[in-house]
Amino acid sequence: MGQITVRKLDDELIRRLKARAAANNRSAEAEVRSILEGALGKPPGSGDFWERAARFRAGLQGRELGDSTDLVREGRDYLVGKHE
C-alpha cells in the first residue's frame, strides 16, 4: 500500500480532524482514510458491504423504530390517488 504526505495543513483543520477521529473512535490516520474512501468511493466489488452494514446497524442501536405500516399505506394511497 502507498503512503501520502499532505503539507501545509491549517492547525484548525488538524484539530477538527482529530476531534472527528475521536468521535468515531478512530486514529487521525484512519479518519483520513475513511474521508478519502467516502469522497472517492471504493472500487466495485471491494468487499466492504459487510463493514458498511455493520456500521449502519450500529447507527441504529438505541433508536426506537416504529411500525412502517402506516407510512406504506400512506404512500400507496398517495400513488393510487394520482392515477384516478
Question: For residue 21, what pLDDT is reported?
Answer: 95
Question: For residue 4, what pLDDT is reported?
Answer: 93
- 83: in domain: no
- 70: in domain: no
DSSP 69-84: HHHHHHHHHHHHHHT-
- 82: in domain: no
Tell me the pLDDT tens digit for each residue of 13-61. 999 999 999 999 999 999 999 999 889 887 666 667 888 888 888 989 9
Question: For residue 38, what pLDDT is reported?
Answer: 87
- 24: in domain: yes
Question: For residue 49, what pLDDT is reported?
Answer: 80
Question: For residue 45, what pLDDT is reported?
Answer: 62
How many structural domains does the chain have?
Answer: 1
Could you tell me the CATH number of the domain that includes residue 50? 1.10.1220
Q: Domain range spanning residue 42?
A: 1-61
Tell me the pLDDT tens digit for each residue of 54-83. 888 898 998 888 889 989 999 999 998 876
Helix, strand, coil: what percent of the chain each, to 5?
Answer: 60, 0, 40
